[in-house]
Chain A
């Protein structure tokens, strides 16, 4: 897809027919003990078989460690262990939303293809398939990366009606600077977002949280805490989440997230 960035397609009708945008799954080799644990990855998109039924799904990944370093050597027909769909996913866009802004940093862009396709194309997700009636919502994606060669999946994001704005740290493509500056520009425009979905590195999400709070815009963050099980039994994926009594508590991101209201996340 881009520098050190790949896309992998899994045949798995069971997950493909249920998963919704913003949900994730766990994956590991079918055999062997090293790497040992599954790793979480977000849905990039589902694909259909000849009869139009969900057959499997794609995910995008950056090679940074043990398992992602192995993945490029996986061959067609290899068997892997996968469990999911997991987590909550992004909430359904409320009726009457004027402008949904997706803010992505680095590989944090992967959940937003399915978000955009559900809103702007006839692609449907979930079982039973979710009903989407937000044709009047404007959808944009602000996508930041280190440099142009890390920008991945731009072909896929070329969806009719999706307003894509790019930023790179080195200015090699799009806005020279942080993606949060694009968000601020949009908030100051004559069609400002009234809903923000965000996924990316923690400092970026922290910045987006502050911007959204200051602008009083509803905002959801998809956290990328390391996970050992993905299903709520190890208590390793905790993040500080504000509770009803106003105090924070460590909550399991895999069960209660990975998507949280920005107002509840304590950085």
Chain B
């Protein structure tokens, strides 16, 4: 028995420590820093149907304990991905979750169909939440579109499907419910929070794209809140992501109700972190007197609210 194994509907992973799309390159870049075999899964950078040049620099700006980015899905397109990166990734022996983004439902469907012939892919993660791409529809701001895109991918692709949602909506719960109902095996919560950085002396926005997505420790409380809200309201496995940089952060997400987590921005400033967290998680499970990590998932005890108002 592997005490760290987790199951998210049809997706079974050796442990719940994943690396987030867009923060781990195509893995090859990380070979001297990370022990791939340790990781629960690797999610390479978002792939789009055609090559995208990305946004003009500056593409990132540091904020207090956070990072704003507007990379703009700079990638060589799905054909180049399949040719240049996929066989390397699948050869690593670590589960590979391919993250895709399209401009419309048909594009998502075409990409999912293309990936369907690679049975070694562990799952497909739908990036329906990237705040940096102009011209595209932000599917995950609309429950109906979310449901349609998930259903389309389910119809053409047998691989497990994960919907990655945006926090830039009033109620993520509604979107998560729509994704679950349409057949998503799990939801990833969350992508970056839309933000902005300004150089007031030059009267200029700092990012080339003006707006960007905020990530890093600054967003952890916001991401935790969303994981909590969805865990309480929707029956769907959750992959928590946002500002995780230590084993305590991992545990906070797991007890709040995430079945797995993704490490994002922390890979940039602590490139060996993700693989080390797996060993630390084993220790925590033991020291908590548990046989399996799943005993800790969703173990948060909420206060009895009825008693606190006089």
Residues of A within 8 A of B (CB): 28, 33-38, 66, 81, 83, 225-226, 228-229, 231-236, 238-239, 249-250, 255
Contacts and interface: CB of A to CB of B under 8 A. Distances in A.
Given A225-B57, A238-B57, A233 B74 contact: no
B279 interface: no
B29 A233 contact: yes
Contact of A231 (B29, B58, B245): B29
10 contacts: A33-B245, A36-B66, A37-B67, A83-B271, A228-B62, A231-B271, A233-B24, A236-B57, A236-B69, A250-B54
B269 A36 contact: yes
Contact of B217 (A36, A231, A255): A36
Contacts of B66: 36
Nearest to A249: B53
Interface residues of A, dominant DSSP:
loop
Given A35-B62, A236-B60, A229 B268 contact: yes
Q: Which of A81, A234, A249 has the most CB of B within 10 A?
A: A234
A81 B269 contact: yes
A235 B69 CA distance: 10
Interface centre among B54, B245, B268 (most CB of A within 10 A): B268
Nearest to B27: A233
Contact of B58 (A36, A226, A234, A249): A226
Contacts of A250: 53-54, 57, 74
Interface residues of B, number: 32
Contact of A233 (B25, B58, B60, B67): B25
Contacts of A34: 64-65
B61 to A, nearest CB: 9
B69 A234 contact: yes
A33 B65 contact: yes
Contacts of B269: 28, 36-38, 81, 229
Contacts of B216: 33, 36
Nearest to A225: B57
Contacts of A36: 62, 65-67, 216-217, 265, 269
B123 to A, nearest CB: 21
A34 B62 CA distance: 9
A81 B268 CA distance: 12
A37 B59 contact: no
Nearest to B61: A226
A231 B30 contact: yes
A232 B34 CA distance: 13
Nearest to B53: A250
B33 interface: yes
Contacts of A249: 53
B15 interface: no
Nearest to B51: A249
A232 B30 CA distance: 8
Given A37-B268, A233-B29, 10 more contacts: A36-B265, A36-B269, A37-B62, A38-B269, A226-B58, A233-B267, A233-B271, A234-B71, A239-B57, A249-B53
Contacts of B23: 233-234
Contacts of B30: 231, 233
A226 B54 CA distance: 16
A12 B57 CA distance: 33
A235 B271 contact: no
Interface in B180-214: none
Contacts of A235: 22, 25, 45, 54, 59, 71, 74
B304 interface: no
B306 interface: no
Nearest to A29: B269
Contacts of B218: 33
Given A36-B217, A238-B54, A250-B74, A233 B62 contact: no
Contacts of B71: 234-236
A226 B74 CA distance: 17
B54 A234 contact: no
Given A35-B62, A236-B60, A238-B54, A81 B67 contact: no
A238 B271 contact: no
Interface in B72-124: 74
B270 interface: yes
Contacts of B245: 33
Contact of A238 (B33, B45, B74): B74
A66 B62 contact: yes
Contacts of B265: 36
Smallest CB-CB A-B distances: 4 pairs: A232-B29, A229-B268, A233-B25, A236-B60
Interface in B19-71: 22-25, 29-30, 33, 45, 53-54, 57-60, 62, 64-67, 69, 71
Contacts of B65: 33-34, 36
Name, among A36, A231, A239, A250, the residue most crowded by chain B CB atoms within 10 Å (CB to CB): A36
A38 B269 CA distance: 6
Contacts of B60: 226, 228, 234, 236
B8 to A, nearest CB: 25
Nearest to A228: B60
